[in-house]
Every structure is written in structure tokens, then in C-alpha cells.
A and B are shown apart, each in its own frame.
Chain A
Amino acid sequence: MKNKYFFATILFMLAVVLPFIVPVFWVHVLTEILILGLFAASFNMIFGYMGQLTFGHAAYYGIGAYTTGLLMVKANVPMLATLPLSMLSAGLCAALLGYFCVKLRGIYFAILTMAFGQLVYYIIFQWYSFTGGDNGLQGIVPPEFLGKAANPYYFFTLIVVTIGMIALWIISESPFGYTMRAIRDNAERTEFIGINVQRYMLLNFIIAAMFAGLAGALWGPFNRSVAPDLTNWMHSGIPVFMTVMGGPFSFLGPLVGSAIYTFLMATVTSFTEYWPLVSGVIIILVVLLMPGGFLGLIDEKFPFLMRRGNGTGKTDGQGRQER
């Protein structure tokens, strides 16, 4: 446990110091890493802790982004107020759609979340009068106190993402979080000890969607615009990639994955347009050669760095350690 906080503290200190050292381009990349890291961490609440793969998580990210965008552009609501409202709207949509999703498991869960994700995408895409259709929304300008430079918005993002990550950590280590692990490991037994599995899964789905919505809300003002592509299934693949790259079996895995993925993307796209090809090869190599992701590899090679003491470790039958 001590070592885990140690690792998190190192990451946080790096995040504070780096923007003063690196050029402004990389400050933008760092902002992106944080936003997508929160998005991936929220995805991992469903994937890592609940054991279900969602392929439509970008829908809630997009709903968050659009809520902020619409409120700021059309109603002049201050940005700080739009953040909780984005979480609320993403959570409400998740309550409605998740109600059906949590009835299914495995591949059917994945396909239904994807179908709902595409539903949201096409609604946003076609509703020109409200969402701007495929033009998206432009002119989402961050408030004055964050200025025009890269650093203030970066630190604002850092604060929001840190609060979000701490909230997710507290949730995942609460009795509720351990109930999720129990459902992941054996839903039937969990039902037998008197837990309403579907209700707990729905609650977790809503929580995950709310934090995805928060991440989305940070994206709009950062990018000055939102587009419907934020919600489609290609975008839903991104948190899956990040989580698997970083390590789905540890809390900070998705954030580390986001750092690796976004850094690679920024580097590779600067000299070739064939990023999909490169990323495809990387993901295949990661899945085939290091199934535990980056943190899994570190854990395997340097076990003293990240010793776990919380007694929840469970091997999944293939020698891999789960949380």
C-alpha cells in the first residue's frame, strides 16, 4: 500500500514539474494525457473492477463534452458550473441506457453498449439544430482566469483530474468497490449472499459514466470545440487500448496507459500519417507479449517496486495477478 501511494505521488510530482520544463506543445500533450487518463480510469471501473467490457464508453464522454459545449456556447454558463452538470447529464443517460446493459454479460454486454454508443453518436450527428451535426460546436473558450497560455488550463485539468482520480480510488477501495470485485469474480455467489447484483452493476455503470462525462467536459474547452466523432465506437476503443497498454489489473494502469498511448501518438503523428497502422501493431504486440500491460510487466520484473498488501490479489488461472 505504501509503495502504491509512493508511485502515485511520483506521478503527481512529475505532473506538477514537467510543464515548466517541456515546450508548450508537450504541455498540450500532457493535458490530453490527463483528460484521456481520467476517461480510461472511468472505463476501468466497468472493465477492471466489474469484469465487463464496454465498447460504448465514449458515448458518456461525448455527452459530457456536449453538455459543457452547449451550456457554454448557447447559454453562457460559466465553465466551473458546467463540470458537475456534465457529470449529471452523463450519469442520467447512463442510468437510462445502463439499466438494459447490466442485464447482459460478456460479448452481449459489449455489443449492447456499442449499439447504445452508436445510437448516441447518430442522434448527435443528425440533430443539426441542437448539436450542430457533423460540424460540431466551435468557440468553446475557457474562462478568462485561465488565460490563453497552455499552463493555466493544464493545471486546472490537473486539479480536476486529481480530484476525479482520488474519488475513483476511494470508491474502488470502499465496500462498494469490493462488492464489484465479488461480482466480477463470481456474480452468482454474490447474488446468493443477498446482493442485488444488477442494481450494484447499474450504480457502478452510472459512476463510471459520470467520470467519463467529467473527462469529456474538460475536453471541449481544451480543444475549443467538440465534434460527434468523440462519441462513436472508434473513440470507445481508445480507453480499451489505454487500459490494456497500461495494465488493467492496477488502479493507475489506465492513466499510465494514457501517458504511453498519447505520447506515442503525438510522436508518431509528427512524422507519419499512418498512426492507425503503428498503433495496431503496438496493440497486437502488447496483447500477445505483455498481457498484464506496462504495469504488469514492471510488477513481474521488479516486484519490490509495487508490492501489494491488500490481500485481494487473485490469479485468473493463467498466472496473472488481478487486483
Chain B
Amino acid sequence: MDITSLFTQFLSGLTYGTILFLVAAGLSLIFGVMNILNFAHAALWLMGAYFSYTFWNLMQEHSFAFWLSIPLAGFAAAAVGWLMEVVLIKRIYKRELYEQLLITYSVALILSDTIKLTWGVTNKLIVRPEMLRKPVFIFGAPLDSYFIFVILAGAAVAIGLWWFLKYTRYGHIVKAAVYSREMVGALGIPIPQIDTWVFTLGIFLAGFAGGIQAPIGSITLGMDTAIIIQAFCVVVIGGFGSLMGTLVGSLIVGEVLSFTILFWPEGAMVLIFVITAAILIVRPWGLFGTPMRT
């Protein structure tokens, strides 16, 4: 095992970690603010991938099609997420845990079949533009140039989110709501609207991640069932409602998957669940979460 192939493996882990981060960041934000564990998150991620395929397909003759279809996928998924929040999720904030889980689980089932009905069962493929087809060489390690784009886009979103939470008024409200919804409400801030926009933002991130994921391989039905569990693991490892935690958690999961596949492929997912369970047992609030939350 030489250093170049280790580096290649590291970068592929980083790429997968980036996708996981984008999915899990929304999941963590939604759970942090509203205490809703959104099972449907990955279904919306997959929907984002299909949306991006459709947009790319519609604009195929233009050179900007590839680049534009990714953010458009985010917005299209966000529209679905907004509708889901306003019609359904709003009714269950005060309900029991199991009812909330069942509702989002049911939405996941419905969305998966909706995807099947809309886009059919054949796999979809997005053709990358010329510049992203050739491998690039970093320290002599051949690397898919699209991976570089994924990592950069993910980093940009992470910085943007961090800036939003740290320096904007709405970011401050969201951060405060993670600690105490009641207190934020008592200050006269309309919690229901905050809920709607946090949910929509979270789903936008998922749809955007789907758009970014789409050109990596082909888009297939059922891709969402594996990633939702991995995203749960990321959020548990990092801590619900913590952006930093989600970032670290997704890098851990991405790299662990990437390197165990090299040494012990059968054990990759087993190892992820052992880490997740260990974190839950020792620090249920995660590496960067806070134990104050009830």
C-alpha cells in the first residue's frame, strides 16, 4: 500500500463525506430546531438527484445546463419540502415521538414511490461536461476531477452555512431555537415561520446534495435507504443541531467507509454502527452537541 493510493482513498472518502455532510446538515438542523427526525430526508435527496437529471435533460443543448441543474434541483426539492412542512409536519410538532417518526417514515415511503411513478425504474445518467471527465493528478495520485468540484462545492456550502448561523439575525434565531424554542417564542419571534424556513432550508441542502451526487454515478431507485441510515449515524456522532459536529461526523463516516473498504470491505458498515452505538452510549448528545437540551 503506497502513499499515492492512500491519498486517492482519502480523497474519495472526503468526497463521500461531503455528500453526507450536505444531507446530514439539514437533518441535524431540522432535528435541532424542531425535534423532528426526518426519515424522508434521503428520499428528498434522491428526488433532488432526479430533478437535476430532468433540468439537465431539458436544457441539454446549453453549456450551462450541467451547472444550473444542481442549484435548481435544490430549489425544486425545497419546494416539495416546503409543501411537506406546511401540509403535514406542522400538525405533528406537538405529537408523540412515535407519531412524528411514523409520519416522516410514511412520507419517505410515499416519496420513493412517487419518484418511481414519475421517473420510472430505468437508471438515469447525467453526462458531465468535457472539463470534468479527465482525471487530475494530485501528488501523482489520479483523481476524478468531479470529486474536486464536489469537495469545493461542499466546502462553499459549509462556509455559507457557518456564516449564516454566526453573522445573520436569522442565523442567531435558529441557533437560539436549538437551545430553547420556548424562550425564542417568548421574545416575540414567530416560531411557526422559523420552523417552515428551517425545514425548507434543510430540504434545499438535501436536494442540492442530490444534484451534486447525480453525476458521480447513475441515479437509481433505492439509493436513499442506505444513505439515510448513514446520515443518522453522522448526526448522532456529531451531535444534533451542531454544524461543526455534522462536519466532523460526516468526515469520520466518509473516511472510515473509504478506508475499511480497502482493508476489510465486509466490515465497513459494521464499523460505522459500532462507532455510532459507542457514541450513543458514552455521549448520547454527540461529540459536539450539548447535553443541555431536553
Contacts and interface: CB of A to CB of B under 8 A. Distances in A.
A138 interface: no
Contacts of A115: 232-233, 236, 273, 276-277, 280
Contact of A281 (B91, B110, B233, B274): B110
Contacts of A122: 269-270, 273
A284 B101 CA distance: 11
A217 to B, nearest CB: 25
A154 interface: no
Interface stretch (B57-65, B111-119, B132-140): B111-119
Contacts of B276: 115
A215 to B, nearest CB: 20
Contacts of B108: 280
| Chain B interface helix/strand/loop/mixed | helix
A110 interface: yes
Contacts of B91: 288
A112 B97 contact: no
Interface string B82-98: 00000010011001011
Contacts of A112: 277, 280-281
Interface string A106-130: 1110111011101100110011000
Nearest to A283: B106
B109 A240 contact: no
A103 B280 CA distance: 10
A106 B106 contact: no
Contact of B97 (A103, A107, A237): A107
Given A111-B236, A126-B266, A240-B102, A116 B110 contact: no
A277 interface: yes
B225 interface: yes
Contacts of B106: 279-281, 283-284, 287
Contact of B110 (A53, A119, A276, A288): A276
A241 interface: yes
B185 interface: no
The 3 closest A-B CB pairs, nearest first, are A277-B113, A280-B109, A280-B106
Interface of A: 47, 53, 55, 100, 103-104, 106-108, 110-112, 114-116, 118-119, 122-123, 126-127, 233-234, 237, 240-241, 244, 274, 276-277, 279-281, 283-284, 287-288, 291
26 contacts: A53-B97, A103-B281, A108-B280, A108-B284, A111-B232, A111-B280, A114-B232, A115-B277, A119-B273, A122-B269, A122-B270, A122-B273, A233-B229, A240-B98, A274-B117, A276-B113, A277-B109, A281-B106, A281-B110, A283-B102, A283-B105, A284-B106, A284-B110, A287-B99, A287-B103, A291-B95
